[in-house]
Amino acid sequence: MPIYEYVCMVCKKEFTVILSFSEYEAKPKITCPHCGNDHVERRLSTFFAKTAKKS
């Protein structure tokens, strides 16, 4: 199952969420496990982050 990385915009903590493809397609509401806020942003994978820095 794919692992999605998120960072909480409120407490700045990173966390991972494991979702099946169909679950992700359903656009579930992701909440921070640390503070319970839903103001979270999806993190790009390390691979994509490195690629983006080159340009």
Does position 11 bind Zn ion by CB under 5 A? yes
| 32 is an interface residue for Zn ion by CB under 5 A | yes
Q: How many chain residues are in contact with Zn ion, going by CB under 5 A?
A: 7
In the bound state with Zn ion, the residue whose beta carbon lies nearer, of 20 and 37, is: 37
* Beta pairing partners, 4: 17
Q: Answer yes or no whether residue 35 interacts with Zn ion by CB under 5 A.
A: yes
Instruction: Calculate the alpha carbon distances from 13 to 3, 45, 54 in Å.
Output: 16, 16, 26
Beta carbons of 30 and 17 less than 8 angstroms apart: yes
Residues that bind Zn ion (CB under 5 A): 8, 10-11, 32, 34-35, 37
